[in-house]
């Protein structure tokens, strides 16, 4: 410390960790230093950003306040360490070259929507980047998908092959420019370019009419062509969403028989023409993350049925790259102003495969589906699907957390004593790496059912380990012995391996993201999870903390005849639940389901169950929803797991809510609902078995009396919500706890979740749900990591 002309001079070293690289943080610091008349330097290193700054104490204090409180829009400060140094008497403040440190702790920003400043330039005919589809700056553009290593500098991204022209270099070198050290900075002179290739253009206009490949592509789309379009994290398959024939052609070629397609519209106003959009949904749509948002479809929405068969929602996103903005602008010009501009933008893959992102692979895999390819020569280093969300109970809920959010870490309340890896589950897989107080949940990997997705899983883990310098000493995995993620963990050379029960991990994910230590009452409900007794669990009430759980109740076990086949053929579960409720006499019931039942097939299944052949016991709530969907004639077979349950929710939502309380819930003959949780498990453990036989019998009575299917579906939802609420109350009486954590894929059912939360809150419970990760198996890895962290500390 020194004194000059009555002022005290200090030099401070400030080390800042968080998302502070590639987001304009250094020029921001530089500008603040100039403003306050300070000297020193700022640089990127593998810890984040290091500042050494010198000047009067008053100016230094003002500088530090500004750095903390006025950060650039994409920056996030997680920690700050300050120490005093001896003054060096520098003469200026500079931005020094990045340094690689011994420990790499820098965070990489997610890919981000094009900012307003870049959009203005994109559509300004006087700007040198007019209609340049790769315009970006430090406040927007690609990050995660182009980064190959850290520190985040151009030579460690896929932009390294594009040397900047003199004009771009001048912007890049100017600390006061918006593009100072914007690593993807480029222009038409020196940067990447778009190209259009077609191999089946019989329905399209002559490409020679248009000099711009994006304009040409827009006209092709307007005339019914299917195009593969390269985006930030991979290829989309695109077509005109209002062209029913093109939509159906895409559906057939992609082998996506019934799952809905995602849509892209140019602006919020177009989304509001198609769907109801509340303020929270509008905020999600327009956020810098740009997720696909699930929205309630308007009754007069003119969308062809092939876009989202059966569903009463549409998945809509707004454009997030300059190429998207240009393509939609040109598409509007091609179709005219008489109708909404809506493009199907579905993942560029065949069903069950990972999204294509390498150009040669995309050309080979997508050629049988698309009729042309709008591509470019900026490589994607890491594939990354679109994020899918919806707004529920006043905030966002993830269905899939990926582009725009990954790899931003989730802060933890516990300090990890060793670096960890959690491998996630089998379906909707993500993995999670953790160190310090941060959990890095990966982008969406997908269902680990083929070699391509398993390769994506392995490559993703290696990439995260490298860019975040996390080399795990502990690995957590699901108990199911046949999951590929489990086999990966058990085959790894990581010394410490910790198995985590599936539903415990679901509840732990809620605890981890909300910073709760527990114990809590945990209610995990889904389709499949390997239980500690070898059964297939799926409706589990427990008292849990991160170290362990005690199972208090579960849905009464029923056989799963044929194992996985029962998932694909819900009629099997309907027959099982009828047999549980009525015994063999259910075959005498005069209802459509029994009349149409193949009695020979059922006899074979009963023999399998009696001999315990491929008929594991299950407490799955997902399978109960499947059973009711089949029982009321909605769907006997499904094409994907959860389809029947989703359609049952859609049917139930046709009713007006709230239902009449006197008739909303199926009850026992004595009018009691609480008796539904009274029977005890026969396993010798102190567990309640939730008995739904009365619900099944009441549904049969409604069918016999001609009650509309939508009414039956609605009453079933209300009954299950009350059953679960009463079970939680029973758990409270046993444990004294008043905090409930809900997780599992069944809680993607909006109708069930909202009714259950309302009932629990009326009982004075404090209710927590997943907000930072999906409640489905996409959030499982976070819970596994939290459990393993708790055990590693003991």
**Where is average pLDDT lowest: 144-158, 267-281, 423-437, 588-602?**
144-158
Q: What is the rounded CA–CA span in Å between residue 150 and residue 101?
A: 10
What pLDDT, on the 0 to 100 scale, is given for residue 350?
Answer: 86
Q: Give residue-wise pLDDT tens across range 219-236.
A: 999 999 999 999 999 999
Q: What is the rounded CA–CA span in Å between residue 228 and residue 593?
A: 43
What pLDDT, on the 0 to 100 scale, is given for residue 1?
Answer: 56
What pLDDT, on the 0 to 100 scale, is given for residue 676?
Answer: 45
**Where is average pLDDT lowest: 167-181, 274-288, 387-401, 668-682?**
668-682
Using a pLDDT cut of 70, give the percent of the chain over it: 94
What pLDDT, on the 0 to 100 scale, is given for residue 21?
Answer: 81
- Say whether pTM exceeds 0.85: yes
Return the DSSP state at 481. Answer: T
Instruction: List, in sequence order, every residue forming a beta bridge with 521; answer none if it has no partner.
Output: 543, 740
What pLDDT, on the 0 to 100 scale, is given for residue 349?
Answer: 93
* Closest by Cα among 495, 737, 526 to 624: 526
* Closest by Cα among 107, 119, 118, 221 to 178: 118
Q: For 769, phi and psi rounded to 5 degrees?
A: -130, 170
Mean pLDDT of the residues in the chain: 93
Question: Which residue do the tokens 């996409």 mark?
Answer: 778
Within 10 angstroms of residue 193's Cβ, the number of other Cβ atoms is 15
Return the DSSP state at 174. Answer: -
Which has more confidence, 168 or 211?
168
Q: Give residue-wise pLDDT tens across range 619-631.
A: 999 999 999 999 9
What pLDDT, on the 0 to 100 scale, is given for residue 508?
Answer: 98
Is residue 483 predicted with pLDDT exceeding 80? yes
Return the DSSP state at 534. Answer: S
The band of 266, judged by pLDDT with boundaries at 50, 70 and 90, is very high
Tokens of 715: 């009453």
C-alpha atoms less than 13 angstroms from C-alpha of 660 in its C-beta half-sphere: 3
Please report the beta strands in 86-226, taking only residues with DSSP state E, as ranges in sequence order.
Answer: 93-95, 194-198
Do the beta carbons of residue 478 and residue 485 sit within 8 Å?
yes
Q: Which 3 state secondary structure label does DSSP give 94?
A: strand
Please report the beta strands in 160-200, taking only residues with DSSP state E, as ranges in sequence order.
Answer: 194-198
Highest mean pLDDT among 96-105, 378-387, 662-671: 378-387
Do the beta carbons of residue 141 and residue 132 sit within 8 Å?
no
Q: What is the rounded CA–CA span in Å between residue 113 and residue 111?
A: 7
Q: What are the C-alpha distances in Å from 386 to residues 295, 348, 358, 391, 403?
A: 16, 11, 17, 17, 5
Is residue 690 predicted with pLDDT exceeding 90? yes
What pLDDT, on the 0 to 100 scale, is given for residue 205?
Answer: 47
Tokens of 711: 């009414």
Q: Which 3 state secondary structure label does DSSP give 195?
A: strand
Q: What is the rounded CA–CA span in Å between residue 140 and residue 571?
A: 50
Is residue 36 predicted with pLDDT exceeding 70? yes
What pLDDT, on the 0 to 100 scale, is given for residue 101?
Answer: 56
Q: For 248, phi and psi rounded to 5 degrees?
A: -65, -35
Instruction: List, in sequence order, every residue forming a beta bridge with 157; answer none if it has no partner.
Output: 147
Q: What is the 3-state secondary structure (H, E, C) of 333-396?
A: HHHCCCCCCCEEEEECCCCCCCCCCCHHHHHHHHCCCCCEEEEECCCCCCCCCECEEEEECCEE
Q: What is the rounded CA–CA span in Å between residue 328 and residue 136?
A: 18
Question: Which residue do the tokens 């327009």 mark?
Answer: 286
Q: Is 358 exposed, middle or buried (0-12, 13-18, 19+ CB in 10 A)?
A: middle
* Closest by Cα among 719, 722, 720 to 760: 722
Q: What is the mean pLDDT of residues 12-40?
A: 91
Sequential DSSP letters for 690-738: E--HHHHHHHHHHHHTT--HHHHHHHHHHHHHHHHHHHHHHHHHHH---
* Closest by Cα among 281, 280, 261 to 271: 281
Is residue 682 predicted with pLDDT exceeding 70? no
Q: What is the mean pLDDT of residues 587-596?
A: 96
Q: What is the rounded CA–CA span in Å between residue 610 and residue 559?
A: 10
Q: What are the C-alpha distances in Å from 314 to residues 263, 306, 574, 623, 657?
A: 8, 12, 29, 25, 21
Q: What is the rounded CA–CA span in Å between residue 226 and residue 211?
A: 20
Is residue 286 predicted with pLDDT exceeding 80? yes
**Where is average pLDDT lowest: 51-55, 505-509, 682-686?**
682-686
Q: Which 3 state secondary structure label does DSSP give 478?
A: strand
Q: Which 3 state secondary structure label does DSSP give 46?
A: coil
What pLDDT, on the 0 to 100 scale, is given for residue 200?
Answer: 73
Tokens of 677: 């949780």
The band of 201, judged by pLDDT with boundaries at 50, 70 and 90, is low
Q: Give residue-wise pLDDT tens across range 529-583.
A: 999 999 999 999 999 999 999 999 999 999 999 999 999 999 999 999 999 999 9
Contacts of residue 166, Cβ cutoff 8 Å, sequence gap at least 6: none
The band of 591, judged by pLDDT with boundaries at 50, 70 and 90, is very high
* Kind and range of the H or E run holding 173: helix 166-173
**Where is average pLDDT lowest: 214-223, 271-280, 547-556, 633-642?**
633-642
Contacts of residue 203, Cβ cutoff 8 Å, sequence gap at least 6: 220, 223, 224, 225, 371
What pLDDT, on the 0 to 100 scale, is given for residue 347?
Answer: 96
Is residue 680 predicted with pLDDT exceeding 70? no
Tokens of 63: 């500088």
Instruction: List, in sequence order, every residue forming a beta bridge with 48; answer none if it has no partner.
Output: 45
Q: β-pairing, 39-45 with 93-95? A: parallel
Q: Which 3 state secondary structure label does DSSP give 748?
A: helix
Q: Which 3 state secondary structure label does DSSP give 532?
A: coil
Which has more confidence, 104 or 492?
492
Q: What is the mean pLDDT of residues 204-222?
A: 80
What pLDDT, on the 0 to 100 scale, is given for residue 70?
Answer: 92
Do the beta carbons of residue 712 and residue 703 sit within 8 Å?
yes
Is residue 153 predicted with pLDDT exceeding 90? no
Is residue 102 predicted with pLDDT exceeding 90? no
What pLDDT, on the 0 to 100 scale, is given for residue 206?
Answer: 52
Do the beta carbons of residue 93 and residue 71 sit within 8 Å?
no
What pLDDT, on the 0 to 100 scale, is given for residue 100?
Answer: 61
Is residue 204 predicted with pLDDT exceeding 80? no
Within 10 angstroms of residue 206's Cβ, the number of other Cβ atoms is 9
Q: What is the 3-state secondary structure (H, E, C) of 127-194?
A: CCCCCCCCCCECCEECCCCCECCCCCCHHHEHHHHCCCCHHHHHHHHCCCCCCCCCCCCCCCCCCCCE
What pLDDT, on the 0 to 100 scale, is given for residue 48?
Answer: 85
Q: What is the mean pLDDT of residues 108-125?
A: 96
**If you compute the radius of gyration of the chain from its CA atoms, what whole number of angstroms results?**
28
What pLDDT, on the 0 to 100 scale, is given for residue 18?
Answer: 87
What pLDDT, on the 0 to 100 scale, is given for residue 104?
Answer: 58
Tokens of 478: 């699901």
Is residue 399 predicted with pLDDT exceeding 50? yes
């Amino acid at each position: 410390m020194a004194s000059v002309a009555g002022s005290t001079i200090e030099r401070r070293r400030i080390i800042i960790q968080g998302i502070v690289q590639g987001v304009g943080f250094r020029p921001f610091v530089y500008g603040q230093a100039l403003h306050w008349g300070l000297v020193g330097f700022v640089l990127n290193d593998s810890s984040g950003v290091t500042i050494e700054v010198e000047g009067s104490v008053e100016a230094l204090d003002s500088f530090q306040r500004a750095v903390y409180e006025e950060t650039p829009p994409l920056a996030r400060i997680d920690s700050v360490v300050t120490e005093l140094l001896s003054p060096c008497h520098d003469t200026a403040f500079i931005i020094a070259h990045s340094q690689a440190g011994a420990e790499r702790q820098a965070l990489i920003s997610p890919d981000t929507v094009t900012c307003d400043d870049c959009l203005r330039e994109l559509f300004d005919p006087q700007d040198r980047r007019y209609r340049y589809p790769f315009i970006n700056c430090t406040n927007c553009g690609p990050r995660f998908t182009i980064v190959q290593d850290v520190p985040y500098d151009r030579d460690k991204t896929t932009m390294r092959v594009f040397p900047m022209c003199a004009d771009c270099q001048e912007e890049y070198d100017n600390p006061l420019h918006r593009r100072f050290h914007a690593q993807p900075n480029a222009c038409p002179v020196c940067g990447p370019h778009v190209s259009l290739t077609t191999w089946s253009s019989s329905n399209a206009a002559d490409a020679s009419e248009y000099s711009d490949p994006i304009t040409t592509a827009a006209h092709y789309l307007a005339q019914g062509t299917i195009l593969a379009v390269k985006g930030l994290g991979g290829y989309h398959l695109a077509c005109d969403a209002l062209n029913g024939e093109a939509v159906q052609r895409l559906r057939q070629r992609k082998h996506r028989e019934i799952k809905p397609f995602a849509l892209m519209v140019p602006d919020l106003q177009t989304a509001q023409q198609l769907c109801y959009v509340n303020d929270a949904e509008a905020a999600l749509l327009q956020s810098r993350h740009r997720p696909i948002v699930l929205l309630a479809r308007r009754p007069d929405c003119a969308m062809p049925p092939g876009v989202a068969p059966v569903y009463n929602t549409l998945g809509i996103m707004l454009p997030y790259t300059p190429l998207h903005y240009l393509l939609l602008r040109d598409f509007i010009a091609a179709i005219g102003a008489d109708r909404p501009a809506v493009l199907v933008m579905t993942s560029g893959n065949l069903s069950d495969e990972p999204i294509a992102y390498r150009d040669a692979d995309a050309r080979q895999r997508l050629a049988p589906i698309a009729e042309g390819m709008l591509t470019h020569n900026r490589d994607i280093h890491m594939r990354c699907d679109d994020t899918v969300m919806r707004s529920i109970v006043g905030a966002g809920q993830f269905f899939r957390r990926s582009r725009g959010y990954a790899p931003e870490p989730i802060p933890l309340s516990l300090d990890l004593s060793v670096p960890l890896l959690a491998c996630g589950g089998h379906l909707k897989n993500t993995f999670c790496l953790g160190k310090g107080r941060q959990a890095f949940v990966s982008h969406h990997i997908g269902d680990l059912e083929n070699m391509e997705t398993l390769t994506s899983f392995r490559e993703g883990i290696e990439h995260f380990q490298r860019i975040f310098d996390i080399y795990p000493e502990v690995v957590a995995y699901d108990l199911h012995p046949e999951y590929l993620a489990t086999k990966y963990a058990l085959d790894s050379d990581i010394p410490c391996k910790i198995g985590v029960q599936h539903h415990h991990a679901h509840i732990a994910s809620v605890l981890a993201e909300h910073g709760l230590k527990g114990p809590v009452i945990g209610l995990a409900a889904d389709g499949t999870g390997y239980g500690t007794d070898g059964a297939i669990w799926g409706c589990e009430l427990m008292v849990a903390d991160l170290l362990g759980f005690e199972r208090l109740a579960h849905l009464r076990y029923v056989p799963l005849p044929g194992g996985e086949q029962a998932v694909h053929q819900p009629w099997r579960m309907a027959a099982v639940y009828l047999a549980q409720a009525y015994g063999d006499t259910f075959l005498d019931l005069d209802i459509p389901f029994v009349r149409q039942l193949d009695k020979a097939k059922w006899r074979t299944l009963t023999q399998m169950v009696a001999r315990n052949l491929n008929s594991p016991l299950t407490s799955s709530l997902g399978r109960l929803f499947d059973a009711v969907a089949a029982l009321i004639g909605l769907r006997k077979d499904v094409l994907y797991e959860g389809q029947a349950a989703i359609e049952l929710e859609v049917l139930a939502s046709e009713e007006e809510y709230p239902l009449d309380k006197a008739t909303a819930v199926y009850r026992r003959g004595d009018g009691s609902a609480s008796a539904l949780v009274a029977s005890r498990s026969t396993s010798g453990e102190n567990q309640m078995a939730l008995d739904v036989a009365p619900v099944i019998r009441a549904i049969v009575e409604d069918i016999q009396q001609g009650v509309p299917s939508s009414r039956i579906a609605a009453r079933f939802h209300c009954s299950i919500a009350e059953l679960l609420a009463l079970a939680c109350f029973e758990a409270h009486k046993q444990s004294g706890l008043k905090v409930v954590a809900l997780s599992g894929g069944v809680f993607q059912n909006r109708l069930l979740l909202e009714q259950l939360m309302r009932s629990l809150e009326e009982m004075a419970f404090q209710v927590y749900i997943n907000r930072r990760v999906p409640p489905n198996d996409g959030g499982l890895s976070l819970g596994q990591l939290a459990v393993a962290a708790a055990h590693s500390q003991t």
